[in-house]
Structure 1
Amino acid sequence: MQTEPIDLIDETGVSEDEKIPTAGEVLLQERQRLGLNEKEVADQLHITMHYVKALESNSYEKLPGAVFAKGYIKSYALLLGLDAEDLLARYDEFNTRQQAKIEEASRQLRARRKKDRNKPLVIVSLLVFVGGFLGLWLVYSYFGDDAVSEMQTTAESMNSADGIRPALSRQAEQQLIAQPQLTLEGDAEESPTPSLQPTRIAPSIVDAAGTVEEQSSLGSTESMPLSALEPADVDIGVPGGEQDPSVASQTSVEGQPTTVSGEPASDSALGADQPRVISIEAIGDDVLRISFTGESWIEVNDSESQQIYRDIREAGDVLEITGSAPFNILLGDAPFARMSLNGDEIDLAEDIRIDNSARLTVGL
């Protein structure tokens, strides 16, 4: 079978991708191969065993920050004789996968919440549609029969009127023919010259014909739609589609965008080169000033191990802490920091470790 080798190759490729060791697994395997324990590694790296376990288990959230994690991995790799750049690349890839998983989980959670939120709207829409359909059906059922019966009654009345009208017309013609003869015979005895007089139609015949015509016209009027009786809409406007010049000018003025003059750019650029000072006020009169020339983690505690400040500072930042000495200080990248206490410069060179971090106490 030709498909079996291909399937085996695909499965082998997938398994190899899934078994790519992380930076922590590589460090753990190499430490065990060299026969070192966690305490020995912690002593040589000047870190705690808790941090060593966090590095080997990929629990980077237990470390102070990403800067510390990369520094510890690099120092650990140099201690074990491994490629530091390869381990840092594995660390970045691991963080990318973790971030992608978190974003996917949050996206699914948002989609599920949105779906649950739209359910009541869909149900209400269905109910409204069904209710409207039933209402239209009931209206058509009740009022449709009445309209049909009215149309039948109107048709019957029109048919009866059409049947009566020819009979009355024939009767009127017969009387018109007979009436001139009677008039001529009566006048022949008085005068030899025949005189023609206007003939009159019997009132009863005229009244009957008028009544029939009124009934037929009434029936046709009732059967006519209301739209035929209403007056047509009249278009009131300026001939030729012209517009009042005052209105046109007013519209054009209102449609123009307004402009707002901003502040001069030179005012905001005056303090661009000035350092950014972060001031922390605590109990005491001692002033600790730390200026940074690069990115570095900084953590400051008082003499009672109460945390005063903890964050990552960037180049150009100046941290001023007013409190009571002594201060316990932890720097992630000590070469990027300059420190002074009450105006006296403090030399950090002797306290810098192999990973460029420094922990010291000032103001004793």
Structure 2
Amino acid sequence: MKVNDDIMETPVLGADRFFKLMDDSIRGLREYRLIETALELGVFEALKTPLQAGELAERLGCDPVLVPHFCEALVRLGLLDSFEEIGEAEEELQVEESDEKAEKAEKSPVSPWYVNSELSAAYLLKESPFSQQHYLSEKFRNVALWARLPELMRKGPELVEKGPFFGEVISCMAENARCGLLQETVRTVMENVDFGNVRKLLDLGGGHGLYAIAFAKINEQLEAFVFDLPPVTVKTKQYIEKYGASNVDVIPGDFFKDELGTGYDLVFSSFNPGGKVPELIPKIASALNEGGVFVTRQVPEENTESNPLFNLDWNLWTFEDTKKGGTGYCFENSVPFNEYVGMLGDYGLEVFRTLDMKEGSRMVFARKVNKSN
């Protein structure tokens, strides 16, 4: 029997790669929507104490057929723990709820109990000191921006105002910093700078001010200032008050237009949007005392150039008065970080240490050369 040649023809390139690409992409979308929906429904807040799927569905007003599958999917992601029999500690908590709930639990011994995992308890509960609620809100806004990708591709990037933008993301950045970045950074600076000689510090573009606050807590003789845009420093003051840092104050302004002040023993800059802009170097040098130290932390281009998806994300939005560069964390008036570091010496800032940090950023230490030497 003659077989049509077309139906037996196979693609030159195997289909496995294509289907894996699509399946992985769709799985990522499903996992994202799972987490977003769990937060929207209040699943993690409800599961501070163990519940069975039926009771959870009743409490949240959700479909009892879907909830067990939903919970098991969260277990697979590591955001919930499940167990067949409730332990003594959890049992006591259940007894405190009501006799009626205890009876329901006895009638369905096969149905597993669900409770927050250590991961979700640490980062997804509102009262946790490491809660990432603002970070997640920022991620949700980013997803909404990507949902408009066809529109942005035709019309160009979204224009945003600096003040409101940074005012909104400050809480997000603060939450991120509290999860290890802050502690690592402060320890590294303390190990490489003689803080016994530091009396006045400037946290340039410091946003939430947590770095200045941490330095000031360690050195109570320190006078620290956080320089940032006026809408941002409103938030900064809230963090200063929250942590009781009486030796930290704010300087509202635009570092591209305004003076930074003088007499600083340390100027600190961490992931500052202007951290690769050469025109700021003379301002920083003038602000430092002789022998003072400039510490800057940025992501060098070699760690971002190879990620076109991130570069696209970075360029989906821009500031009206400050255009972005091609790669992530770069602006039009920026230069490559290595070039920027090389220019420090032109203004009397002598680099004495460069450290590559674990997440891909680089911390550079430069001392203002004493004219008498």
More helix by share: 1
Tell me if TM exceeds 0.5: no
Which has the higher Rg, Structure 1 or Structure 2?
Answer: 1
Shorter-chain TM-score: which interval? Answer: under 0.3
